[in-house]
Amino acid sequence: MADEPATARALLARAAGVVVFTGAGVSAESGVPTFRGPGGLWKAFRPEQLATPEAFARDPRLVWEWYGWRRDALAACRPNLAHVAIGRFLLTRAGVTLVTQNVDDLHERGALEAATGLAREGRLPAAGAAGDAASRPAPERGGGAAPLLDDEQPRAANAAAAARAAPIRLHGSIFHARCTRCGARTEHRAAVDASSLATLPRCGACGGLLRPDVVWFGEVLPEGALETAFAAAAAAEVCLVVGTAGAVHPAAALVDETRGGGGRVVVVDPGETAYDDVADVRLWGAAGEVLPGLLG
C-alpha cells in the first residue's frame, strides 16, 4: 500500500507553488466550535439563523451579542499545532499562499508563535530576504516612530514576520467591523455592549451602526479576495486542503482551480469531505496531528 504521508510530503517538498486552504476544522483542536459539529448552537439559535443580513436587519442587538460571545470564546482559545506548522511553512518556504474561510485570528497568532520559534533558532528570514513570505509587503513603520527599546525589538521583528504570513480571508474577520452607513472598515476588538440598541458599536467617522465585517450567508465575498485566491490556486502545483467539508460556495471551488491548472490535491481531515473523490492524497486525521509531520 502506498505510504500516503510520504507521498504527500514529497509532493509538497518539490512543488514550486502551494496553496493551503483551511476551514473551521483547522481551529477545532483549539476549541473553536465548528458550525455543523457539536457545540455549534448558541441559545438554541442555529448559525444559519444569525449569520445573515436579514437577521442583522431584524435584530442587530441579538447578532452583536452572538458575535461578542464568539469573540470571548476565541480569547480563551490558543492556536494549535496546525496553525503553528502552517505559519512556519509560510515563513520558511517560497511560493506558499494561505487562504482561509475562517473568521478567527488563530492563523495570525499561530504565525506569531512560529516566528518566535524561528527567531529563537536563528532561522527567521529578514524582511525582504529571499522566500515567498518575505516577498509580500511588510507593514511599514511610520517615519516618526519612536525607536524601539531593546526588549521590544525581537517582539516587533517577530510580529512583522508573522504579518507576512497573514491569510487571504474569503469570509472576513470577526475582529473587524464595517459601517452600515458609509462602508468604512476598521479593526474592532473592543468589548461589545449588546444590552441595548443604543450601546451597539458605532462608526467613528459618521456615527452609523457598525456590523461585523464577515461574509454572511447569501452575501458576496470581499472584493479581490476571491480573485487573488483563485489565481494563486490556479498557478499552484499543490492545493493542501485542511479541515473544510467543502460545502460553502464559491470558496469550495478553489480546489477546482488547482486541478484545472494540472495541480495535485492533498486533503487532511478526519471526516468525509466533498473532495474525497478528487484528492490525489487523502490523509484521514486531525490537522494538529498530521500537519507538523507533513510540513516540517
Site residues for Zn ion per CB under 5 A: 179, 181-182, 184, 203, 205-206, 208
Min. distance of Cβ 200 from Zn ion in angstroms? 13
Q: How many residues bind ligand NAD (CB under 6 A)?
A: 26
Using the minimum distance from each CB to ligand NAD, give the nearer residue, 174 or 203.
Answer: 174
Taking residue 119's Cβ as centre, other Cβ atoms within 10 Å add up to: 15
Using the minimum distance from each CB to ligand NAD, give the nearer residue, 17 or 23.
Answer: 23
Q: For the purposes of burial, counting CB atoms within 10 Å of the CB of 159, is it exposed (0-12), middle (13-18) or buried (19 or more)?
A: middle
Decide: is 181 part of the binding site for ligand NAD (CB under 6 A).
Answer: no
Decide: is 92 part of the binding site for ligand NAD (CB under 6 A).
Answer: no
Residue range at the interface with ligand NAD (CB under 6 A); choices 86-94, 107-115, 120-128, 245-253: 245-253
Q: With b meaning 16 or more CB within 10 Å and e meaning fewer, what string describes 195-234?
A: eeeeebbebeeeeebbbbbbbbeeeebbeebbeebbebbb
Q: At what angle do helices 287-295 and 81-92 cross, to 10 degrees?
A: 20
Of 157, 115, 117, 116, residue with least CA distance to 139: 157
Decide: is 32 part of the binding site for ligand NAD (CB under 6 A).
Answer: yes
Residue range at the interface with ligand NAD (CB under 6 A); choices 24-32, 129-137, 140-148, 202-210: 24-32
Min. distance of Cβ 21 from ligand NAD in angstroms? 10
Decide: is 103 part of the binding site for ligand NAD (CB under 6 A).
Answer: yes
Pull the grid cell for residue 64.
452583536
* Partner that binds at residue 171, options Zn ion, ligand NAD, none, CB closer than 5 to 8 Å by kind: ligand NAD
Give catalytic residues, as residue numbers: 171
Among residues 79, 87, 95, 101, the one that binds ligand NAD under rule CB under 6 A = 101
Min. distance of Cβ 53 from Zn ion in angstroms? 17
* Partner that binds at residue 139, options ligand NAD, Zn ion, none, CB closer than 5 to 8 Å by kind: none
**Are the CB atoms for 258 and 236 separated by under 8 Å?**
yes
Decide: is 173 part of the binding site for ligand NAD (CB under 6 A).
Answer: no
Pull the grid cell for residue 190.
473592543
Site for ligand NAD, residues 253 to 292, rule: CB under 6 A: 269-271, 273, 286-287
**Are the CB atoms for 212 and 177 separated by under 8 Å?**
yes
Q: Which residues contact ligand NAD (rule: CB under 6 A)?
A: 23-25, 27-29, 32, 34-36, 101-104, 171, 243-245, 247-248, 269-271, 273, 286-287
